[in-house]
Structure 1
Amino acid sequence: MLKPFEVHVQASSLERFRPGLTGPEWEALQASAEQARERMAGRTFWNVNSTARGGGVAELLPRMLAYARGAGVDTRWMVVQGTPAFFHVTKRLHHALHGSRGDGSPLGAAERACYEEVLRDNAEELLVLVRPGDVVLLHDPQTAGLAPTFAAAGAHVVWRCHIGSDTPDAEVERAWAFLAPDLTAARLAVFTRAAYVPPLLADRSVVIPPSIDIFAVKNQPMTPEVARAILGHTGLVELAPDAPEPVFTRMDGVPARVSRGADIVRLGSAPAPGSPLVVQVSRWDPLKDPAGVLRGFALLLRESPGLRAELVLAGPSVTSVADDPEAAATLEAVIAAWHEQPHFLRQRVHLACLPMVDPEENAAIVNALQRHASVVVQKSLREGFGLTITEAMWKARPVVASAVGGLQDQVRHEVDGLLVRDPGDPAEFAAAVRRLLDDAVLAARLGAQAHEHVRTHFTAARHLTDFMALLEELDARAEREA
């Protein structure tokens, strides 16, 4: 029998936000926290998803929950478990909600039966914990099928969808048809963008963009010297003889050292510390288009053979993300595309699987890689939001992103970065990257403006206030329906 497990989260004080907020902003955050404490007194706010590490939801939850606990709200995180067949179905749903066929497999009665059976097993354990009046926030298609069970138990159910399509098609409709029977039980639904809201949820949806925690290990300040040392010890760049220790600070304040290396496919040596790096950090997912990034970079080098830049495509170890069965196949396809390139280009492209055994060590490596990058790219074909680009913008890096999904909510073209209007056009992508590599003044200006844009719109302080308002709306609807 499949059993969900709890991920324990330590509380973090809201006081750490105070220095970076204006007086009115700090007062508003305190007022929201007080309202949430009063509203949730005697109740628990449950978050349920399908993986404890890897991907945007697993990045988002621990820090948001830590601050909610720091505000005095009893917030807990449960992770459902599934079979390979279940995760194959939910990955198919993931692609369909993006408007993609994925592997084209069916979403029929057999897939529905598999989906329901796995969630029924998980629900039996969860129902022991959830009490009437509790708030249950279910994340993405993997958990939507739990909504009727929790609603019947008297919980206030909210479903959060982190993905979607700006232009619904037959695939999107197929996904909603699969999920619709369960979503009738959700009192509210939360979407990243208004364009993602389907007609069946139009009367009970709110829009809340995601955020990053600027105090997390992945986003904490790091000197260029330490960043290069971490990348050197990991194998992503050459290790300088006089490099300092590859250290970072854990969330509990304890200093730590990066000790694990990355698994890297390359021809020849690691990039020199001074080589400009073009970097994409993402899950190994075909919708992130890592092979397209490689081919776009290949075009860039063919057009500008004197360019010194090198490309790093980095993602998590393919065995580390429980709910993503496509990771290994996607990485294999990228490696195959790498083998197709000429010798000189393979010397300039590095495919890295980052260690995930210690999530905070992984976060420190990603932090170093993003801060060291000359240009950070996210050439997704579809994208729910794209927190990796948010992270890079916070670090004042110049970015190139596809004008799809939530990426276009973050990057204002020519203001915070450069947008590629056609993510399938390698020439447009190559031209945007070359422009930032060639124009240091433009790159610096866009990076500085990107940092400020994230500070004002995409940090946890704003996100927490949005969720306080969500609780108010949820209880108001419960009263009207009583």
Structure 2
Amino acid sequence: MRVKLPIRKINDYNTVAKEEVEELIELSKELKGLKVVHVNATSYGGGVAELLYTLVPLMNDLGLNASWEVLEAPNEFFNVTKKFHNAFQGADIDISDNEFKLFEKVNKDNAEKLNLDADIVIIHDPQPFFMPLFKDGKYIWRCHIDTSNPNFNVWNKITFKAADKYSKALFHLNEYVQEPFKQIAVEFPPSIDPLSDKNKQLSKKVIEEIALKYNIDLNRPIITVVARFDPWKDLKSAIDVYRILKEKVDIQLLIVSAMAKDDPEGWILFEDILRYAGTDPDIHFLTDLKGVGHIEVNAFQTISTVGLHTATKEGFGLVISEMLWKQNPVVARPVGGVKVQVIDGFNGFLRNDIKELADAIYEIITNESLRRQLGKNARKVVKEKFLTTSHLKRYLKVIKEVIS
């Protein structure tokens, strides 16, 4: 299924990254008319979809012929690929022969059904990984997962079967690269869109209206976690951190999430986390089920005193950069891509233990001058490394290399 795309203009980014815009315009001159197709599992929910809603339209504005296709598959397929996702992150999971056959069949069906006639096809994550087996072309694999320590039984069974069909493999960090991709791997961090509804500057009136609608008190400190309901996000630890702090500070905890179509496990975990939180009125569950969209997420991050991220595994965690962009420090566990966004003591704190996480947040909440300095540094880090323009430049360079 082809995704309908919004219109994005590269010149709009002159307000935040003028030099990079000029580089992009120059770099794209040799790629005019080049047909590029992105393929992933869902058009809604999760970081990959958000990235593509910005990157694909901007590729078009730069003169490429870019499009985005989404897999058509039954729920059973997404149950299987969620197991792949967890196994790639190290979970001790077995994949049955029938599950493997379903994965292969859905990939074959989609290779025949989707419009993959292009100069370059960019495959995102494991769900469409086998498609090059059934359709000739030049392929790039974009892995958005922390594969630093995968379950090699599952990893090898999947990756070795189709790896030779790919010209390049893009990973968030070099430490995620495993065989059979070491010869074609590129370190490739993602980005946030500073002009999107989720990251643009909101008026004070809009922010206050959203806070009132969701019963959030702007006069008390706010800890915000933005994460999917996924076992690796460890949201129970976030609640534990809040409960430690609640004994000393009158705080609120916002748990902000979206229910992704390709993650059936998320609904089960959502119910589990709700039960764990109990009836505390200062723990707010803010999801798309309650009408939360990108503007609302923006408002919640903007009004936050501090961001919290308790994930035990994290491919990158763009929600970190989103929070930092709004000049708020982040306290997080030093995992995956989190540790290249949060610089300990500069724009937040990296801690492992629940009590240490709580202590770091307490220090930020009770030291206004520290909080301001961390927040100032926070935006600076994102501007230098993790904006859309930097990400798009990396894509154009890789595409140019594969084509030539």
Band of TM-score, shorter chain? over 0.9
Shift of 1:442: 1.0
TM-score by length of 1: 0.80
Shift of 1:398: 1.4
Query: 2 CA distance for matches of 1:118 and 1:20?
Result: 42
Task: Tell me the number of residue pairs that the alignment of Structure 1 and Structure 2 aligns.
Answer: 404
Q: Which residue of 2 aligns with 1:160?
A: 142
Rg larger in structure: 1
The one-letter code of the counterpart of 1:163 is I
Counterpart of 1:200 in 2: which secondary structure? coil
Aligned pairs for 1:426-441 within 5 A: 426-441=354-369
Query: 2 CA distance for matches of 1:11 and 1:448?
Result: 31
1:116 aligns with 2:104: yes
Does structure 2 conserve the Cα–Cα contact (< 8 Å) formed by 1:98 and 1:172? Answer: no
Deviations 1:408-428 (A, max 9, x none): 0111111121112x2xx2111
Q: Which residue of 2 aligns with 1:354?
A: 288
Which runs of 5 or more residues in structure 1 are unaligned?
Answer: 238-271, 477-482
Q: Which residue of 2 aligns with 1:28?
A: 23
Shift of 1:27: 3.0
1:62 aligns with 2:53: yes
Query: 2 CA distance for matches of 1:32 and 1:236?
Result: 48
Deviations 1:416-459 (A, max 9, x none): 21112x2xx21111111111111111111111111011111111
1:137 aligns with 2:122: yes
Query: 2 CA distance for matches of 1:434 and 1:463?
Result: 34
The one-letter code of the counterpart of 2:8 is S
Does structure 1 conserve the Cα–Cα contact (< 8 Å) formed by 2:147 and 2:177? Answer: no
Does structure 2 conserve the Cα–Cα contact (< 8 Å) formed by 1:224 and 1:371? Answer: no
Aligned pairs for 1:228-307 within 5 A: 228-233=208-213, 235-237=214-216, 272-302=217-247, 304=248, 307=249
Counterpart of 1:158 in 2: which secondary structure? strand
Match of 2:82 among 86, 91, 97: 91
Match of 1:78 among 45, 66, 69: 69
CA RMSD in angstroms comes to 1.7
Does structure 2 conserve the Cα–Cα contact (< 8 Å) formed by 1:165 and 1:405? Answer: no
- Percent identical pairs in the alignment equals 28
Q: Which residue of 2 aligns with 1:328?
A: 267
Counterpart of 2:356 in 1: which secondary structure? helix
Deviations 1:343-382 (A, max 9, x none): 7xx232222323487xxx7000000000011111111110
TM-score by length of 2: 0.95
Match of 2:189 among 175, 200, 209: 209
Of stretches 224-233 and 322-331 in structure 1, the one that deviates more from structure 2 is 224-233
Query: 2 CA distance for matches of 1:398 and 1:18?
Result: 26
Query: 1 CA distance for matches of 2:16 and 2:287?
Result: 34
Query: 1 CA distance for matches of 2:358 and 2:76?
Result: 38
Which runs of 5 or more residues in structure 2 are unaligned?
Answer: none
Shift of 1:173: 4.9
The one-letter code of the counterpart of 2:263 is D
Deviations 1:169-211 (A, max 9, x none): 5x24532332320222111111111011112100011111000
1:312 aligns with 2:254: yes
Query: 1 CA distance for matches of 2:91 and 2:244?
Result: 26
Query: 2 CA distance for matches of 1:297 and 1:176?
Result: 40
Counterpart of 1:184 in 2: which secondary structure? helix
Deviations 1:139-181 (A, max 9, x none): 000010112223x2xx211111001233x25x24532332320
The one-letter code of the counterpart of 2:190 is P
Q: Which residue of 2 aligns with 1:415?
A: 346
Q: Which residue of 1 aligns with 2:312?
A: 381
Does structure 1 conserve the Cα–Cα contact (< 8 Å) formed by 2:233 and 2:313? Answer: yes
The one-letter code of the counterpart of 2:106 is V
Shift of 1:387: 0.8
Query: 2 CA distance for matches of 1:219 and 1:362?
Result: 12
Match of 2:179 among 199, 214, 227: 199
Q: 1:373 to 1:474 in 2, by over 3 A?
A: same
Query: 2 CA distance for matches of 1:62 and 1:356?
Result: 23
The one-letter code of the counterpart of 1:206 is V
Query: 2 CA distance for matches of 1:354 and 1:311?
Result: 17
Does structure 2 conserve the Cα–Cα contact (< 8 Å) formed by 1:147 and 1:183? Answer: no
